[in-house]
Amino acid sequence: MVSRLLLYTLIGLMLSACAGKTGNDFRVSLGFVSAFDVAKTEFHQGLFLESRKRLLSIQKDDKDYPEAQAFFKRTVEPARLKLLRYYVRKAKAEEKRGEWAKAEEDYRMAAELSQQPQALLTYQKNMNLKARQLRLNSLYAIRKNEDLAWLDWKKGYTPPIGLLGDDKAFSEASTNFAKLIEERLLQTKKLSEKYKRDDEPELAWLYADSYLRLKPGDKKAQNLKNAMATAVPQGFILPKEGKKVEAVKVIKVKEEKVTSQQVNKLIAEKKWLSAKEKALELRRQGDSKADMLLKKINTKISEMAEDAYQKGNIAFRTENIDGAVSFWQKAVDLKPDEQTYVDSLRRGKQIQERLKALKAEDK
């Protein structure tokens, strides 16, 4: 019995090192700390909604109930209402200025703070649609002008009167330019596929359209473009397509070879992200050393990212929010696909803004 209690105690102490809500819930459930004490800590860490929810969960027969209710009414609820007003005012001002992306984020923040968020979520959705429409319209105009310019440049490599039609210098210049167009096509294809995966159909449509402008008749690009046209949100307007253009001859480009020596040099210089990029290229080339190098690099990057993340958690527990955000940013820079790091950084930045907003409201 004693050994089992000791085991539970050790588990609780280990979890108390976590900054997350689950760790706090576990500590409260085992009686290591009172719900009221945790709620106060959460409030001072900027976790206002978490604090509010915990205070409301305290039962009337709890010895801390009277004090918890007083803290709720005197401190937590006024803070929530101040922040709600702050984000609504900020969102409306940004909407009026046409800053759709900022307004979207602030309506979302306000919705999180509201007990009746439906109207705010509708505003957020509208801002999201406006931001996406503006982004597409702007990028489409830029991309179309770029594509047409590339096609015009290609036509410009025609020998002038006075030179032979197969002038060597002009022929070589034309061949070199065709290689550049092929590189552009490769990057365009990657972007269209990326945005399809990311569930941003209008951007996938944009780059499929660009691909077809440079290489008309490509069936895969046309199928992707058609599929994305039907996947865009209701009310979304795709740009009107202009006249068709003639296809240009393209030349396959061989990627520059990467060597294991280059990767090892970057490792020795502790340039881990650059080393990973080169090691991935090495793997695509079929080099047998690539997997071993990638394993070494990924292990080190994971260690560094986790170290930064844990240091961020420590800073957060000591209410050093700025320090926590700085460490979490480093963790995300190292491993941008690690959702735990991304979520911590996002929440940290939210808390930074909320604390700043409360101070401004109190002035």
What is the SS3 assignment for the chain? Answer: CHHHHHHHHHHHHHHCCCCCHHHHHHHHHCCCCCHHHHHHHHHHCCCHHHHHHHHHHCCCCCCCHHHHHHHHHHHHHHHHHHHHHHHHHHHHHHHHCCCHHHHHHHHHHHHHHCCCCHHHHHHHHHHHHHHHHHHHHHHHHHHHHHHHHHHHHHHCCCCCECECCCCHHHHHHHHHHHHHHHHHHHHHHHHHHHHHHCCCHHHHHHHHHHHHHHCCCCHHHHHHHHHHHHHCCCCCCCCCCCCCCCCCCCCCCCCCCCCHHHHHHHHHCCCHHHHHHHHHHHHHCCCCCHHHHHHHHHHHHHHHHHHHHHHHHHHHHCCCHHHHHHHHHHHHHHCCCCHHHHHHHHHHHHHHHHHHHHHHHHC
What per-residue confidence (pLDDT) applies to 120? 95
What per-residue confidence (pLDDT) applies to 3? 45
Domain with residues 260-362, CATH architecture? Alpha Horseshoe (1.25)
pTM: 0.62
What per-residue confidence (pLDDT) applies to 340? 92
What per-residue confidence (pLDDT) applies to 299? 92
What per-residue confidence (pLDDT) applies to 2? 41
Query: Tens-digit pLDDT profile for the chain (363 aa)?
Result: 444 443 333 333 333 334 455 567 666 766 678 888 888 888 887 777 888 888 988 898 889 889 989 998 998 889 889 999 999 999 999 999 999 999 999 999 899 889 899 999 999 999 999 999 999 999 999 999 999 998 888 888 888 888 888 889 988 888 888 888 899 999 999 999 999 999 999 999 999 999 999 999 999 999 999 999 999 998 899 998 655 545 545 445 455 688 888 888 988 998 898 988 888 888 877 778 888 988 999 999 999 999 999 999 999 888 898 999 999 999 999 998 899 999 999 888 888 888 888 877 655
What per-residue confidence (pLDDT) applies to 8? 38
What per-residue confidence (pLDDT) applies to 18? 43
